[in-house]
Amino acid sequence: MTQARQLALLPLLTDLTQELDDDERYRRLLEGLRTLLPCDATALLRLDGADLVPVAVSGLTPDTLGRRFPVAEHPRLAELLAASGPVRFPADSPLPDPYDGLVEGMHGHLPVHDCLGCVLRVESRPWGLLTLDALEQGRFSGVDLDLLEAFASLAAASVAAAGRIRALSDQAEVAREQFAEALGQGPRSARQLIGQSATHRQLLREIELAGPSDLCVLIQGETGVGKELVARALHAASARAGKPMISINCAALPDALVESELFGHVKGAYTGATSDRRGRFELADGGTLFLDEVGELPLATQAKLLRVLQEGQVQRLGSDREHRVDVRVIAATNRDLAEQVRQKAMRADFYHRLSVYPLHVPALRERGRDVLTVAGFFLEEARARHRLGGLRLDAGAQAALLAYAWPGNVRELEHTIGRAVIRALADLPARPRILSLGAADLDLAVPPRRAGDAPAGEGVADERDTSSAGPLDLDYRQAVSAFETGLIERALQQHQGNWTAAARSLHVDRANLARMARRLGIAPRP
């Protein structure tokens, strides 16, 4: 091994004994790998049930971290997992590349290139994969595969060391492992708490602290920020994780049925009560009760609920018997409950009983580039739903996502991605293998950001001079359309009306260019 390679490995050997944040540990691993084996893109993927989940990437788009790669849908990844050592795929391999549309600087289908990968084993079981891609054909032809296997062993040792360090921590580490499952690292999690921003990390730390306790938690945040996901993470981080978590939307209950839903009823308690029925508190016995939109509860119900919280006993409607329950209550609201107390719309004692541990969920606009990571999760869902080979955001779409204020937060982002895919597919004469979404597909009007919101982020804004793009008060969609129209017309003029050459110069697929042109009314369908 050369001295340069030895020097590249030394920091990684030192990291084996260091208590590092997982993100930093994995970043250093990939940095060392690219030093040893220069490549254009590399990724570390963790095996999670039947899926491979990216935990660190380099040279791939930011939204990659929000995706999951089902092994059954990606034969290259399946072959790497099944192999006993490193695998170098021939440049003319017919197997589809899982990173089509995800390599930074590349648009559309990946050209013929070199691909290399190796399985990571921890305690003789596959933990995940290391993958390397080089856009230059033949880049890996002289690579010593034993070197990659040695690095994979070092990476596996680093992963194992991280596990041992965590295992030697105090009792809070047990909650941290359960908390990781709530973040989508469990095999059957459908939705995840995804993000890397400082505000999101602070939220995760708060969940980690509050989760193992039995304290009442009041989750506050705007509509669509994912308050129920936070509640499920708190439940999973507690000793009650093996017991049920029962949810109830207080805003959706008619006043006449609130008590029956919460506390249950006996036969004959009211017209229509034809049998005894347990309420949500009894159903949640031993576990967690999640009261969503708790600010909508009527005052009379608040008084009865306060008694249950204080004494741990419920009385079914129409019954004189009490049932003891052991329930942890987590509540959520998008209202200012302190203001409701001042306005006499909420009991002060009820409010203080609920907010033993207040927890604020940041709005999406406060999380900077997290919007791209979360978008990646929804893009992957949409790709699978529409059976596409690849689904990506071009630079304009990324900039639009970062510029938008997201008043509906994560829920609005999900719906925006879903609509954009439908619009984009409708404008194409044939279903493409890889679909690229532009800013026009998203159709976002950009209101001004609020004071204190996180900046839009770096690295995706258009580097072209925008000084001549028009007045600053121009409608965003009009501005985007004007910019795209000018760009396409200049490209067509430079290439004497040759659509294929114009598409190549703009780094877009010809079919996508045709679709954009029809939408903008530039020319008849080419």
User: Do the domain assignments include residue 160?
Assistant: yes
C-alpha distances in Å from residue 491, one per residue of 347, 482, 503: 65, 14, 8
User: Do the domain assignments include residue 175?
Assistant: no
On whether both 383 and 238 belong to a single domain, the answer is no
Number of domains making up the chain: 4
Q: Select from 360, 380, 405 the last residue of a domain.
A: 360
User: Do the domain assignments include residue 282?
Assistant: yes
Nearest alpha carbon to residue 484 among 436, 521, 525: 521
User: Do the domain assignments include residue 181?
Assistant: no
CATH of the domain at 350: 3.40.50.300
On whether both 207 and 294 belong to a single domain, the answer is yes
User: Do the domain assignments include residue 26?
Assistant: yes
pLDDT of the residue at 181:
39
Q: Select from 429, 463, 497 the last residue of a domain.
A: 463
CATH of the domain at 109: 3.30.450.40
On whether both 259 and 235 belong to a single domain, the answer is yes
pLDDT of the residue at 17:
55
User: Do the domain assignments include residue 180?
Assistant: no
Domain that holds residue 482: 465-526
On whether both 123 and 22 belong to a single domain, the answer is yes
On whether both 259 and 333 belong to a single domain, the answer is yes
* Helix, strand, coil percent values for the chain (each to nearest 5): 45, 15, 40
On whether both 94 and 155 belong to a single domain, the answer is yes
On whether both 158 and 190 belong to a single domain, the answer is no
Kind of pairing, strands 288-292 and 87-89? unpaired
Q: Select from 342, 360, 378 the last residue of a domain.
A: 360
Crossing angle (nearest 10°) for helices 499-506 and 510-520:
100
| Residues with pLDDT less than 70, the chain | 1-21, 107-110, 112, 162-191, 271, 446-480, 507-509, 523-526
CATH of the domain at 418: 1.10.8.60
On whether both 384 and 355 belong to a single domain, the answer is no
Measure the CA–CA gap between 484 and 479, rounded to whole angstroms. Answer: 9
On whether both 248 and 303 belong to a single domain, the answer is yes
Alpha helices in 299-369 (DSSP H): 299-311, 337-342, 348-354
Q: Nearest 5°: phi and psi at 51?
A: -120, 160
On whether both 42 and 159 belong to a single domain, the answer is yes
On whether both 407 and 307 belong to a single domain, the answer is no
- Partners of 116 in the β-ladder: 88, 132
Q: Are 207 and 180 in contact (CB under 8 A)?
A: no
User: Do the domain assignments include residue 35?
Assistant: yes
Nearest alpha carbon to residue 370 among 397, 414, 410: 410
User: Do the domain assignments include residue 174?
Assistant: no
pLDDT of the residue at 188:
35
On whether both 83 and 94 belong to a single domain, the answer is yes
